Structure 1
């Protein structure tokens, strides 16, 4: 939901900022598995869609930890493309 986060923004800081607009159920800053550093975005889950709409409206384009953030609804990741089948399948059947 939040993009453009400062590397200093923590999950608790994200929760605190967005909770001004509704009941936050979960807030998480996404970190790199290897380095542990923030990837610059995170997710906030509200109790209701109405709260989510208020959170997006209230936080989009605002400063958080010195950075302007972009708040928007999360979009599902697109599925990976199907594997190319140029020839017989591994089972031997076309």
Structure 2
């Protein structure tokens, strides 16, 4: 299951995210999203892990305090397709 984590502190790293979720089970992948120019965290990330472990992690971590902030943890939704503007004319 793919998990969306938001309201992360800007000093939160991918390693921190992996450590946080690894207490619930094996983490397949974790990534804090960064600005492509400044390389600074954008305050959110994604974690992939098994469904059972993910559901427990979402339940336990949503609203928890991490790095002085109350994080939001939920199942990630698929990225929506942006409308194509090539057919406008």
Superposition TM-score, scaled by structure 1 size: 0.84
Task: Find the aligned partners of 1:77 and 1:32 in 2 and give their Cα distance.
Answer: 18
1:50 is matched with 52
> 1:84 Cα shift?
5.8
Structure 1 segments of 4 or more deviating over 6 A?
A: none
Superposition TM-score, scaled by structure 2 size: 0.89
- Alignment of 1:26 with 2:42, yes or no, is no
> 1:3 Cα shift?
0.4
* Unaligned 5+ runs, structure 2: none
Give the CA RMSD over aligned residues. 1.3
Say if 1:81 and 1:65 are closer, same or farther in 2 by CA, change over 3 A: same
Task: Find the aligned partners of 2:80 and 2:63 in 1 and give their Cα distance.
Answer: 26
Structure having the higher Rg: 1
Say if 1:37 and 1:85 are closer, same or farther in 2 by CA, change over 3 A: same
1:90 is matched with none
* Unaligned 5+ runs, structure 1: 88-94
Q: Which is bigger in relative contact order (C-alpha 8 A, separation at least 6)?
A: 2
Task: Find the aligned partners of 1:7 and 1:82 in 2 and give their Cα distance.
Answer: 33
Determine which structure has the larger strand proportion and give its number: 2
> 1:86 Cα shift?
4.8
Residue correspondences, number: 86
